[in-house]
Amino acid sequence: MSEQIVEQMTDASDGNASAAAAEVRGITERARRASRRMAGANRAWKDRGLRAIAAALLENQDNILAANAKDVAAGRANGTSAAMLDRLSLTPQRIEGLAAALENLATLPDPVGNVVRGQTLPNGLRMRQVNVPMGVVAAIYEARPNVTVDIAGLALKSGNAVILRGGTAAAHTNEALLDILRDALDSVKLPADAVQSVDKYGREGANLLMKARGQVDVLIPRGGRELIQTVVRNSAVPVIETGEGNVHIFIDASAKEEMCVNILLNAKTQRPSVCNTVETLLVHKDSTVAPAVLKALSDAGVRLHVDGRIAPLVPAGATSFPATDEDWATEYMDLDLAVKMVDSLPEAVAHIRQWSTGHTEAILTNDLANAETFIAEIDSAAVIVNASTRFTDGGELGLGAEVGISTQKLHARGPMGLSELTTTKWIVQGEGQVRG
């Protein structure tokens, strides 16, 4: 989490009238008008917009990469961590992935107008509850230019307008992406103002978004713990809280070695800077797979933070440290892993309950009863059996993309896709009925 971003959001004075306030007010008003047009757009029209954006990303790939190179160079010069640089960086493959996600999003059903429930009441009234767009969605995030495209695509498909605050670390990339998004929308006669940014207003822009109650319908922070909690504490706009990922995997005594090795390598090393990467490994005392798992992880460059019972199993030459309570609480977002031996499934559950952030937990087991117990007793947004934690992802779960992983329990929980960017409307139709 960048301290600079937190500073940018908290340094602004609430009572400081500025030109930015008028400008941001204008942005929210244009977004409101755009949201009404988006709410009336049919699926075919919105899908044309998504496909136009996908094509424009590929056509303008060189410009995007050139802008991104400036941000990455600045980040490296400023001492940005390797994990944050990874999140900041775009490659041709990642741009192709963003375009593919938009194309996939266009194939998904339109959530707007979906009937949640309905019936004819005894008095003849016909009622139904349907999904409708949120309206104006705002997002505050850091050093993640892919989020600019993901959130814009999801907001558009679900009939919303979106206002973005992507932070200074990705300023050049986000500016290039915003121009591409707006031009693509205009090319299919959708309102360009359905995607706007307050990045040019820096700290004031972020603060004003958080205070824009009545102008912005929902605010979604996405980033590290400090960023998220700053938004939660300071926002007058309703917030959908995405959470940090202190993710656990528990290896049960019955789990097979090959599966454990493959899953742990994927969950820890495929992309260690993201929130669904495993951060703590719990190993049952009767399991025999720990030496092979630890060696595979060490060979892949993972630094092991181990308790006293695991320490004798660490292979020669591995980089390891004694684990402390700080390790159990840490979302490393890097090639570090905390490892602890436990005596039982209940002990593993107790450890997870104490230290989890409620994001994702997994069990590797060949015991169906233990798998069912783990599912029942773990209260996180996602619980996984015998698969990598990297599957807690909107794209992987068939949502097309995601706004973030919600760890709260109101409205949305887990990967947030199209339906999570809608609310509901009650429609009641009668023939003159009055209430007795």
Q: Is residue 88 predicted with pLDDT exceeding 70?
A: yes
279-287: average pLDDT:
98
302-310: average pLDDT:
97
Which residues have CB under 8 Å from 22's CB, separation 6+?
none
Q: Which residue has 């301290």 as its token pair? A: 3
Q: Architecture of 247-396 per CATH?
A: 3-Layer(aba) Sandwich (3.40)
Amino acid 144 reads: R
183 burial level (CB within 10 Å; 0-12, 13-18, 19+): middle
Q: How many other CB atoms sit within 10 Å of the CB of residue 412?
A: 22
Closest to 37 in 3D by CA, of 165, 193, 179, 170: 193
Q: Is residue 404 predicted with pLDDT exceeding 90?
A: no
2 band by pLDDT with thresholds 50, 70 and 90? very low
Which residues have CB under 8 Å from 410's CB, separation 6+?
none
Looking at every residue in the chain, the average pLDDT score rounds to 92
186-194: average pLDDT:
98
How are beta strands 115-120 and 126-133 bridged, if at all? antiparallel
Superfamily of structural domain 3-242+410-427:
Aldehyde Dehydrogenase; Chain A, domain 1 (3.40.605.10)
Ranges of beta strands (E only) in 244-344 are: 247-251, 278-284, 303-306, 320-322, 336-342
Residue 272's alpha-carbon distances to 35, 275, 392, in angstroms, are 36, 8, 14
57-62: average pLDDT:
98
How are beta strands 136-141 and 161-165 bridged, if at all? parallel
407 band by pLDDT with thresholds 50, 70 and 90? confident
144-161: average pLDDT:
94
* pLDDT of res. 411: 78
Question: Among 136-140, 387-391, 402-406, 420-424, where is mean pLDDT lowest?
Answer: 402-406
Query: Domain limits of the chain?
Result: 3-242+410-427, 247-396
136-141 β-sheet, strand order: 195-197, 161-165, 136-141, 218-222
As a whole number of angstroms, the distance between CA 204 and CA 1 comes to: 19
Helix 145-157 to helix 171-187 angle, to the nearest 10 degrees? 30
Q: Is residue 14 predicted with pLDDT exceeding 50?
A: no
Question: Among 21-35, 307-321, 395-409, where is mean pLDDT lowest?
Answer: 395-409
* pLDDT of res. 23: 95
As a whole number of angstroms, the distance between CA 127 and CA 115 comes to: 10
- Within this chain, domains 3-242+410-427 and 247-396 share the same CATH topology: no
Q: Is residue 4 predicted with pLDDT exceeding 70?
A: no
* pLDDT of res. 19: 86
The 10s digit of each residue's pLDDT in 335-377 is 999 999 999 999 999 999 999 999 999 999 999 999 999 999 9
As a whole number of angstroms, the distance between CA 173 and CA 100 comes to: 19
Residue 243's alpha-carbon distances to 43, 289, 297, 404, in angstroms, are 31, 31, 26, 8
Question: Among 150-159, 300-309, 392-401, where is mean pLDDT lowest?
Answer: 392-401
